A and B are shown apart, each in its own frame.
Chain A
Amino acid sequence: MDIWGSFALLLALVAAVYAVVAGIAGIITRRTLLTKSARNAGMAVGVLVTLAVGALEYFFFTNNFSMAYVAEHSNRALPPFYKFAALWAGQEGSLLFWSWLLSIYAFLVLFVNRNKHPELMPYVGVVLAGVQTFFLTLNNFVASPFSVMAGGDAAGVMHVAKLAEGHGLNPLLQYPEMVIHPPMLYLGYTGFTVPFAFALAALLGRYPGEKWIHITRRWTMIAWCFQSVGILLGAHWAYAVLGWGGYWAWDPVENASLLPWITGTAFLHSVMMQEKRGMLKVWNIWLVFTTFMLCILGTLLTRSGVVSSVHAFAQSSIGDWFVGFLALTFIVCFWAYWKNRDYLRSDNQLDSLVSRESSFLFNNLILLAACFAVLWGTLFPVLSEWVSGSKISVGPPFFNKVNIPIALFLLLLTGIGPLLAWRKTSFDALRRNFAWPLGGGVLAGIIAFVFGFRDIYSLICLILGVFVTLTIFSEFFRGARVIAARDGTNLISAVGELTMRNTRRYGGYVVHFGMVLIFIGIAGVPFNRDIQSELSPGQSLKIGPYTILCQNFDQLANGNYESERATLEVFRNGKSEMMLYPERRFFLASQVTETMVAIQTSPLRDLYVVYAGRSPESNKPVIHAYLNPLVKWIWFGGLVVVLGTGLALFPNRRAALVLRPATEQSWSDAVTASASRMGAVTQKADAND
């Protein structure tokens, strides 16, 4: 019984290797039977890895503490919810989880496209199986999640040992978000393998046209969306759990998750250049290669402690495997590119600096700069030790100095870019599209300034945020007005109709709006306040409009932890407003103390209270209170981003046939006009984005 997990994992590796070998043989010999069997092997990998994951979960739920991984990361009293999540609590399980998600993606890709693209899919299958082979090798031979506890007896014979109780799950992971956050992030990391596989496959097979981009658009967006959600959930976890009052510290592991997100974002934008204008082919191929390699690098940074070792304390040999795999990936990518570089020749040239093309180019340039800066800052300890022998790390000031201007410039492009025409935009069109939004933004800036808003970056962020929001709303309004006038419907249903006609464009706007909300939330940071004070029962502290009165401290205990809890009453303008209960929990199985933050959240500000421990001098309890404005906007913005991505995934609804031509050819009106024209001519409404 205990053996079938590792057996399934071994078979999965065999199947993956077979899928690579038979796939290549099938491509060379052009035998459909071989290709088919390679594909079936690729799909079998998914089934086998799922079995292995099922086995490991079974061990968790049956408290099988003879399994080393289970003993290390679980205990009997652990709630079932967390027993499930313990799967990805450590190295071995995380890597198995990676393989599993990847194998699910691969299964779906192979299954969905089983009767399509016969020239392309064999290559895709080989690339996917190649990546799987690497991870399954790690799962089987380097970091096996199925090792058993063993001990030698007096005669030196090894026996399987079984612990009575496990060490318990790391308390930091015992939060509901930690059950969702890693899967989201890993779904992002692994999901980028799909566009990578298609890009490499198209290059290797010299697959004609931009078809691979059309095929992978939705896959890329799904991976991007998971990655975004994963990053935000991670930030929220750091905020709600770690108790330092912030959500982003430019920690190497955080940066690792941001890097592929940045290049993925760049890729999602720059593929439009290739689809519409046949430009940037080399760039796009390399962007998707880079994104994949950054995903691997991210996993390497997260798993190996290469960089974190500056402030964490462990290294593991797994790093070498990842470095080797990264090098191999780069060599294969470069070889494929060099061999087929003539296939990537551009169809068009840049026509004007004020055009959609150039806004995309700047968008990409600036995203790549951000990516490079973050990568450089993250790897600097390693690089500096390598070059000069002394390990130097850079802190948040470096990352903020570079990335804040970049982010603001991106925000500006978010407003401008979508409204510029392809090729060249006239001055008149600029004035018509931007006068009002820009006026609105500046007005908002002036009002904020008058009300004592002085932080320059936040002020710019506010102006740009209002500007972008207004451009987005005016786009919806102008498009909807045309539909409403023509169909005689009201404006609200016209907005719905408009969105469904071109989900990609209008879903994209919703994503942009979500990003604006996130930016506004981040712009609240300069206005954060915090105060720390010793607080015995009966004493109080003041922060902003709030007075926090300490009522008492009490102790609680259950099978999993013992906790000490403060009861705080919060007053505002002399009136009692709420009770907060910050807590410190001592987890019995792992012998670790963790803090439970009490957060009172509202759209305007969060009151964030931490029971920080006892003062070393007086042994009195210390309460640390933070007042963080606008943080909630970030999480809400994340929801809007997800909604927008969801919209953009929908297929376009076909436009109704219209015989009356549109009178005004302003940019946004042209959307509906040309959509209906194309609908009339080609019955295809996927125009103008």
Chain B
Amino acid sequence: MNVRTKFLIGSGIIVVTLISLAYVGFTQSKTYYHTITELSTLQGASLHQRMRVSGNVRNGTIQHLPGRVDFVLTEQGKDMMVSYVGRDPLPDTFKDGAQALVEGRMMPDNRFVAEQVQAKCASKYEAAPNQTPATAQPGQTSSGSAARPSGS
């Protein structure tokens, strides 16, 4: 066996290992991104996947309950009930009318249980549609987030 073949075999083993690792990591952490409008069209398994949904917090719907915070996200006239169950305090930017991105799962009773909430103050956003101060610099994507990945 010549050196070239040996090298190719070695490389092949490495590549195959990495691809399988990538596949496992991918299935563990893939998160769908849906709009509220799309949610109503989802069916079966795809409805219960881990997903991210964004929308505006409907005015006056934020309720602080023991162990969770309930609110309604709205987008293009469609509403979604959300229960935030994460243990971190909600970001300061999370208030009535704010743009929020929630991550979690849809429950059978059509309530979205969120483990993470990120929010951006709506007024600031509308004032400068082309400016995203929070994304302006490397290393940060949103101005406030209730739960950040840890241990990475």
Contact = CB atoms under 8 A, between A and B. Distances in A.
A528 B132 contact: no
Interface string A230-242: 1000110110001
A62 interface: no
A519 to B, nearest CB: 15
Interface of A: 72-73, 88-91, 94, 167, 170, 172-173, 178, 181-182, 185, 230, 234-235, 237-238, 242, 244-246, 248-254, 256-257, 302, 305, 308, 310-314, 316, 349-353, 358, 361-362, 365-366, 369, 373, 376, 381, 390-402, 405-406, 409, 525-526, 528, 530, 532, 590-593, 612-617, 622, 624
A254 B138 contact: yes
A339 B88 CA distance: 58
B18 A369 contact: yes
Contacts of A528: 150-151
A238 B21 contact: no
Interface of B: 3-4, 6-7, 10-11, 14-15, 17-18, 21-22, 24-26, 28-34, 52, 54, 64, 66, 69, 87-90, 92-93, 99, 101, 118, 120-121, 124-125, 127-143, 145, 148-152
A373 B82 CA distance: 34
Given A254-B138, A366-B14, A398-B26, A249 B89 contact: no
Contacts of A252: 141
Contacts of A172: 133-134, 137, 140, 143
A612 B132 contact: no
A400 B152 contact: yes
Given A249-B149, A369-B14, A615-B89, A391 B121 contact: no
B30 to A, nearest CB: 5
Contacts of B130: 91, 314, 316
Contacts of B3: 349-353, 358
A575 B133 CA distance: 44
Nearest to A376: B22
Nearest to B99: A313
A314 B25 CA distance: 28
Contact of A246 (B21, B52, B150): B150
B139 A235 contact: yes
Contacts of B52: 310-311, 393
Contacts, number: 226
B142 A312 contact: yes
A396 B141 contact: no
Given A311-B141, A312-B134, A398-B30, 12 more contacts: A245-B150, A246-B149, A246-B152, A253-B135, A365-B14, A390-B34, A402-B22, A405-B18, A526-B151, A590-B124, A592-B124, A593-B92
A655 B69 CA distance: 72
17 contacts: A91-B130, A172-B133, A172-B137, A185-B138, A253-B139, A257-B138, A311-B142, A312-B132, A313-B120, A313-B132, A369-B18, A376-B22, A390-B33, A402-B22, A525-B152, A591-B124, A622-B89
A71 B34 CA distance: 36
A251 B21 contact: no
B17 to A, nearest CB: 7
